[in-house]
Amino acid sequence: MAQIIFHCDLDAFFASVEIRDHPEYKNRPVIIGADPKKGKGRGVVSTCNYKAREYGLHSALPISQAYKKCPQGIYLRPNFLKYKKASQQVMQILNSFSEEFQQVSVDEAYVDMSERCKDFDEAKEIAKAIQKSIMKEVGITMSIGVASTKSIAKIASDYHKPNGTTIVRPEEVKRFLSPLEITRIPGIGKKSKFYYNKRGIFTIGDIIKTPLNLMIQKFGKSGSWAWRVANGLDNRSVKAIPDERKSISKERTFYEDTADFSLILSKLEEINKKIHDKLKQGGVYYKTITLKIRFQGFLTYTRSKSLPFHIQDEKTTIDVILELYKEFLNNGKKVRLVGIKLSNLSAKDKIQRKLISYL
């Protein structure tokens, strides 16, 4: 089955946070950046909302030009501490939906939902749930692109803004990409566009029609990359796994907060099995077992127990998890997320070497 990757991109992030905190700014052009000083200011636009973009404003535009185009706009200096806090809240929500998570900037991230979604229809529902959670908890909007590769997911997230959800199934890749300008491919900017246009490449469809060897001959490594993106062959993973992992964990967020213990137990057992399937493949053992639980209102707790020796035992782990869970049984709060982390890892051959050394 194809990967299911989300690219999550906050809409006009800084401006959206300011509008959230100042509802009176809604439907007015909001510009974050340097002080315009009535058109004589120096510096540039950091970001602006979509209303301001109707006047031709955009990121990196000199602030003096922005003021001339839109003197009636609301010009604000950036409040990075406030934006950082909002970003952290958003990233925490995204990470709660999958451990295969990669933040790439303050306002965008990739999430691999391949294990969470059985198909792209379910992926669409989860994307909507993520957007709903972010609006409810943080008060801002996000656009999400869903595809089988990181690059196509990124292109898709920009397709319907703001607050859009764009699904590109594997069989739809070429039809979706073909009419788009080549600058939609990450890495092809204005200068590269001129170079490609001179050689007859204007749309992504033109790239799809061109054989790989000819793309390499004309454009070198850039041509090879563009061809792979256009043909859905970008195989980059969302999250690079270090050679020496310190822990392995999985989390699952419920579609709705729940107090149904049978449902919670079922989810914990599912997570536990998936983790152990991976551990068995890699011959990895662990000593520390951790339960993570998040309640409604984002109250999050972790509880751990360390064993005297390394094990790889699915039943023992779930028994320990249930023992740790007892603390929260009667608190009256519904559960939003559960997770299991196994840490203090060791490979089988290392354990054998320690035992032989001891003997």
Residues with catalytic function: 108
The secondary element (H helix, E strand) that includes residue 146 is strand 142-147
Q: What whole-number distance in Å separates Cα of residue 289 and Cα of residue 291?
A: 7
Annotate 234-248 with DSSP letters as a single string: ----SSPPPSS-SEE
Q: What amino acid occupies position 26? A: K
Annotate 157-211 with DSSP letters as a single string: HTTSTTT-EEE--GGGHHHHHTTSBGGGSTT--HHHHHHHHHTT--BHHHHHHS-
Work out the angle at residue 89's Cα, subtended by the Cα atoms of residues 303 and 86, and round it to the nearest 5 degrees.
Answer: 155
**Coil, helix or strand at residue 119:** coil
Q: What whole-number distance in Å separates Cα of residue 63 and Cα of residue 53?
A: 14
Q: What whole-number distance in Å separates Cα of residue 261 and Cα of residue 335?
A: 9
Q: What whole-number distance in Å separates Cα of residue 259 and Cα of residue 257?
A: 7
The secondary element (H helix, E strand) that includes residue 255 is strand 247-258
Q: Which two tokens stand for residue 72?
A: 């009636």
